[in-house]
């Protein structure tokens, strides 16, 4: 009987890990198709990437830390996204003046439905990566550092993503200058806005995760969201350099990823040495 229970429990754990990983693999495969498509096909690929990414985030959060975390993540990020984006469209704060095209479909308060899903795709992997990067920080400072790192990752992801979607015609900036070197189509105000939004979202998300996580929730590992963020940044940089004609954002994506990869490698080696 004990053996049967253990085998059943092991099988259930494998299935729980398999669902987020399957979504992550589908996301990677769909992202690979993006630079190989155009027109309506590329629009369909963009929608699929975002839906898969949002589903991955909510599924992984719910399976790894409890259903309340998954539901709370979806509600919190969607409300924050609509609030920030509607404010930005109406006032130009905090991103600068921009307009969405009709290619993104139905809207709420002027915000296309796809946009909150994109925030979900980005927000959870950013928090998960920050949680991993800040594990060596002493407990008294770790929460503040984790929030800061998560907000920075959240904004850095957009450094690669935004030029790609401007190129696709999904939105345009009224005045895209000054921008980061090599990225003439996106203003620096957008980066400042994403940093501000990132701090707000990560403060709320961190508190929500801390308060609602189930202590006994199965720890299924963080490989799936980490795979998603790795491919969408490094794979995105490769696509920008090789197929999309965006060398500036490619360089920024690769450059921003190097210190993160270096830190993860050091942590991994330290963990192996401690065993």
**125 part of a folded domain:** yes
pTM exceeding the 0.85 threshold for the entire prediction: yes
Residue 22 has pLDDT above 70, yes or no: yes
Burial of 11 (0-12, 13-18, 19+ CB in 10 A): exposed
Least confident of 89-93, 218-222, 228-232, 253-257: 218-222
Structural domain total, the chain: 1
| pLDDT of res. 267 | 81
**275 part of a folded domain:** no
Q: Mean pLDDT for the chain?
A: 91
> Using 50, 70 and 90 to split pLDDT, how confident is the model at 6?
very low
Integer angstrom CA distances of residue 274 from 133, 257, 269: 17, 26, 9
- pLDDT digits 0-9 by tens, 99-117: 999 989 899 999 999 999 9
| pLDDT of res. 273 | 63
| pLDDT of res. 184 | 96
- pLDDT digits 0-9 by tens, 177-188: 999 999 999 999
| pLDDT of res. 140 | 85
**188 part of a folded domain:** yes
Residue 146 has pLDDT above 50, yes or no: yes
**229 part of a folded domain:** yes
**118 part of a folded domain:** yes
> Using 50, 70 and 90 to split pLDDT, how confident is the model at 214?
confident
**105 part of a folded domain:** yes
CA distance 193 to 94: 5
| pLDDT of res. 13 | 62
CA distance 252 to 242: 14
Range of the domain at 138: 2-270
Tokens 């993006």, residue located: 34
**16 part of a folded domain:** yes
| pLDDT of res. 5 | 42
Residue 245 CA neighbour count, 13 Å, CB half: 4
Say which residue, 171 or 272, is predicted with more confidence: 171
SS3 letters across the chain: CHHHHHHHHHHHHHHHHHHHHHHHHHHHHHHHHHHHCCHHHHHHHHHHHHHHHHHHHHHHHHHHHCHHHHHHHHHHHHHHHHHHHHHHHHHCCCCCCEEECHHHCCEECCEECHHHHHHHHHHHHHHHHHHHHCCCCCHHHHHHHHHHHHHHHHHHHHHHHHHHHHHCCCEEECCCCCECCCCCCCEHHHHHHHHHHHHHHHHHHHHHHHHHCCCCCCCCCCHHHHHHHHHHHHHHHHHHHHCCCCHHHHHHHHHHHHHHHHHHHHHHHHHHHHC
């Amino acid at each position: 009987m004990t053996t049967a229970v253990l085998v059943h429990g092991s099988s259930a754990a494998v299935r729980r890990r398999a669902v987020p990983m399957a979504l992550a693999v589908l996301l990677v495969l769909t992202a690979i198709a993006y630079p190989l498509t155009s027109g309506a096909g590329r629009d369909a690929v963009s929608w699929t990437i975002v839906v898969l990414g949002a589903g991955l985030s909510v599924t992984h959060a719910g399976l790894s830390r409890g259903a309340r975390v998954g539901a709370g993540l979806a509600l919190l990020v969607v409300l924050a996204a609509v609030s920030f984006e509607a404010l930005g469209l109406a006032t130009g704060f905090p991103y600068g003046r921009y307009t969405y095209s009709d290619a993104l479909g139905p809207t709420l308060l002027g915000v296309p439905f796809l946009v909150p899903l994109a925030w979900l795709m980005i927000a959870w992997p950013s928090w998960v990566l920050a949680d991993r990067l800040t594990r060596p920080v002493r407990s008294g400072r770790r929460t503040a550092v984790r929030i800061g790192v998560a907000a920075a990752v959240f904004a850095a992801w957009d450094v690669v993503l935004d030029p790609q979607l401007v190129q696709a015609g999904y939105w345009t900036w009224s005045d895209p200058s000054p921008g980061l070197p090599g990225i003439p189509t996106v203003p620096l105000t957008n980066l400042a806005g994403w940093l501000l939004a990132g701090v707000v979202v990560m403060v709320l998300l961190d508190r929500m995760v801390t308060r609602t996580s189930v202590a006994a929730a199965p720890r299924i590992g963080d490989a799936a969201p980490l795979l998603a963020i790795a491919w969408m940044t490094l794979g995105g940089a490769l696509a920008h350099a090789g197929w999309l004609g965006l060398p500036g954002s490619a360089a920024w994506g690769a450059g921003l990823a190097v210190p993160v990869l270096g830190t993860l490698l050091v942590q991994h080696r330290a963990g192996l040495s401690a065993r």
